[in-house]
Amino acid sequence: MSNIVDPLVGQIATRVRTERERRRWTLAQLADASGVSQAMISRIERGESSPTAVVLGKLSAAFQLSVASLLALAEGTQEDAGAGAEVRRRAEAAEWRDPATGYRRRQITGPHFPTEIAEIRLPAGARVPYPAAAFAFVRQVVWVLDGRLTFHDGDTVHELEAGDTIELGDPTDRVFANTSEAECRYAVVLTRGAQP
């Protein structure tokens, strides 16, 4: 595991535990809500296991949060955030890597910016499914920057090339797949929608 990933494993552990405790859920309740085993949740919360993108999708759906929120870093929590321009250098940006697929995610915007923007690198042959609940209460645009993305939006499949965008509609099961032989790089732009 690279040095870039290790701090994020601890941050994910803290965030998952905090979100579960904030709701006063037991491990069993979170397991029921997410479909992730109690044992896996426990390993994640102790920082012993880096969750896959699929597991993060299931946990975020149970919490009704975006995946980006679960990956959010603790930085930028000062009171005067937003008072001036904040430069974030590429070398300082934390990057999370899915241990199962090699999918890499780098958060572009900070925690105080009203829109979440992430850069994703999807290796050749990788396939990352998310349940419909992971898209509840959010509006999202996917913008392909390089390569080709095969995007499953429920039963509809879209072949997206560099420069193409897709604005997501009502929540449905979705799959991000790279069926090509080269890496696909895309941006996800997300805003929170109204909650009931």
Q: What CATH number does the domain containing 145 carry?
A: 2.60.120.10
Q: In the predicted model, what is the mean pLDDT of residues 57-69?
A: 82
Residues 104 and 162 in one domain: yes
Q: Could you tell me which residue, 87 or 146, shows the higher pLDDT?
A: 146
pLDDT above 90 for 141: yes
Q: In the predicted model, what is the mean pLDDT of residues 100-113?
A: 85
Q: In the predicted model, what is the mean pLDDT of residues 169-193?
A: 92
CATH number of the CATH domain containing 47: 1.10.260.40
* Sheet bearing 174-177, strands edge to edge: 127-130, 174-177, 148-153, 156-161
Q: How far apart are CA 70 and CA 167, in angstroms?
A: 22
In a domain, 137, yes or no: yes
pTM, two decimals, is 0.76
In a domain, 86, yes or no: no
Residues 144 and 104 in one domain: yes
Question: What's the confidence (pLDDT) of residue 132?
Answer: 86
Q: In the predicted model, what is the mean pLDDT of residues 40-67?
A: 87
Q: What is the mean pLDDT of the chain?
A: 84
In a domain, 143, yes or no: yes
The rounded Cα 34 to chain-centroid distance in angstroms is 15
Q: In the predicted model, what is the mean pLDDT of residues 49-61?
A: 87
> Which residues 6+ apart lie within 8 Å of 118 measured at CB?
68, 105, 106, 107, 108, 187, 188, 190
Residues 103 and 188 in one domain: yes
Q: In the predicted model, what is the mean pLDDT of residues 70-91?
A: 58
Residue pair 154/131 in contact by the 8 Å Cβ criterion:
no
Residues 60 and 102 in one domain: no
Question: What's the confidence (pLDDT) of residue 88?
Answer: 75
How many distinct structural domains can be found in the chain? 2
Q: How far apart are CA 178 and CA 152, in angstroms?
A: 11
Q: How far apart are CA 16 and CA 31, in angstroms?
A: 12
Q: In the predicted model, what is the mean pLDDT of residues 109-115?
A: 79
In a domain, 182, yes or no: yes
In a domain, 85, yes or no: no
In a domain, 84, yes or no: no
Q: In the predicted model, what is the mean pLDDT of residues 140-168?
A: 97
% of the chain at pLDDT higher than 90: 48
Q: Could you tell me which residue, 71 or 65, shows the higher pLDDT?
A: 65
Which residues span the domain enclosing 31?
Answer: 6-71
pLDDT above 60 for 183: yes
